[in-house]
Amino acid sequence: MNPIPGVEYRDLDLASPESVRSFAHGLSEIDVDILVNNAGESQCGPLEELPIDALERLFRLNVLGHIELTQLILPAMRARRQGRVVFVGSMLASFPLAFRSSYVASKAALKGFATAARLELAPFGIHLTTVEPGSIDTGLSDRRTKYISDDSPYREAFTTTVGALDAKESQGISAERVARTIVHSATTPQPKPLYAVGSRAPLVFTARRLLPRRVIESVMAHSYGLG
């Protein structure tokens, strides 16, 4: 990554509680107006074969690291009676996909924290918002962690699903478009609880409200070569 002039960079490892606490302590002299929680691992595999240590690492990075950092930043926001916290999730939290259960669960957890805590913090002038991007062309497919055995009974379906997932991401929206949505959610006077961008978000969320869940799940499966 090429450094951007005027931007200060600091080390942070969300998988390390010590790093999170050290990072937050280093901000004690700064008024943090906006916190964007946007980091994570993209993990996939059949539920039956996901190693527990891999799940623990995923939730430490994708969920607990974000929540602990938010907890450490909130007191100063509350004292100033203003602040914005944005959790960057995934549309898969609203439209789960086979072989993505761990990733889906981690992103759904972030949305759950934001949704439940929103009314707690609103009286103090703090807004919590979730942004759910669809497929983004960031090269994430090359970095996705996969857990499946060579003789897995799920291998054929797994290969089909992940192949379709990789293809969709290669044709996804740009990271810049998602960034614009995040900036809007963090700066608009009255932010919405949830912003979705990419993957025909307006259409699919409307369909989700109108159609039975079983129909939505069937459409998701067929779109990734299953069912």
Taking only the tens place, the pLDDT of each residue in 76-126 is: 999 999 999 999 999 999 999 999 999 999 999 999 999 999 999 999 999
pLDDT of 58 reads: 97
H-assigned helices in 13-122:
17-25, 52-59, 65-80, 101-121
* Rounded-to-integer distance, Cα 40 and Cα 53, Å: 16
pLDDT of 227 reads: 73
pLDDT of 1 reads: 64
More confident residue, 211 or 141: 211
Confidence label for 17 from pLDDT (cuts 50, 70 and 90): very high
**What is the Cα Rg of the chain in Å?**
18
Average per-residue pLDDT for the chain: 94
Say if residue 22 is exposed, middle or buried (CB neighbours under 10 Å; 0-12, 13-18, 19+): middle
Taking only the tens place, the pLDDT of each residue in 137-165 is: 887 778 899 999 999 999 999 999 999 99
35 pLDDT more than 90:
yes
Residues above pLDDT 90, as percent of the chain: 81
207 pLDDT more than 80:
yes
Does the model's pTM come out above 0.75?
Answer: yes
Written out in words, the top-level CATH class of the domain with range 32-223 is alpha beta
Taking only the tens place, the pLDDT of each residue in 123-137 is: 999 999 999 999 898
Compute CA distances 185 → 88, 90, 207, whole Å: 11, 15, 23
